[in-house]
Amino acid sequence: MSEELDWGFTIAYNAVLQAGRAFVFAKGYRPATAEGHKNTFAFLAAALGPAHADLVTYFDRMRNKRNQAVYGMTGRIAETEARNLLTKATEFVRLVKRLLKETS
C-alpha cells in the first residue's frame, strides 16, 4: 500500500508542476533547468500573489516530500497526505485553467 500512496502522491504533484509550468510558459517565461521545480514555485508565488500564497507554499513543501518519495525511502507518504495533495492539485489545475482562459 505504501508504494501506491507514494506513486499517487507523485502523480498529483506532477499535475501541479505541469500546470504551473504551463502558466509560466503562458506568461512568456521558462524556468531555469537547474532547480526547475523550485523555480516554478517561486515564479508562481510572485505571479499569483497573496491570494494564492498558502496554496503555493503548500506545494513547495510537497516538493520536498515528493523528492523523498522518488529518491529516498518509499513509504513516507501517509494516505491523508496523498488525498490532501490530490484535492489541492485538482483545485490548482482548475485555477490555472481559469487563469489561462482569462488571459487568452
CA distance 4 to 15: 17
* CA-CA-CA-CA torsion sign (99, 58, 11, 82): negative
Centroid of chain to Cα 77: 16
* Torsion, CA 9, CA 54, CA 45, CA 21, rounded to 10: 30
Q: Quick one: pLDDT at residue 86?
A: 96
2-103 placed in CATH 1.20.120 = yes
Q: Quick one: pLDDT at residue 93?
A: 98
Q: Pull the grid cell for residue 44.
A: 508562481
pTM recorded for the entire structure:
0.90
Q: Quick one: pLDDT at residue 3?
A: 81
Residues of the chain with pLDDT under 50: none
Q: How does DSSP classify residue 5? A: H
What residue ranges do the domains of the chain occupy? 2-103
Q: Quick one: pLDDT at residue 41?
A: 95
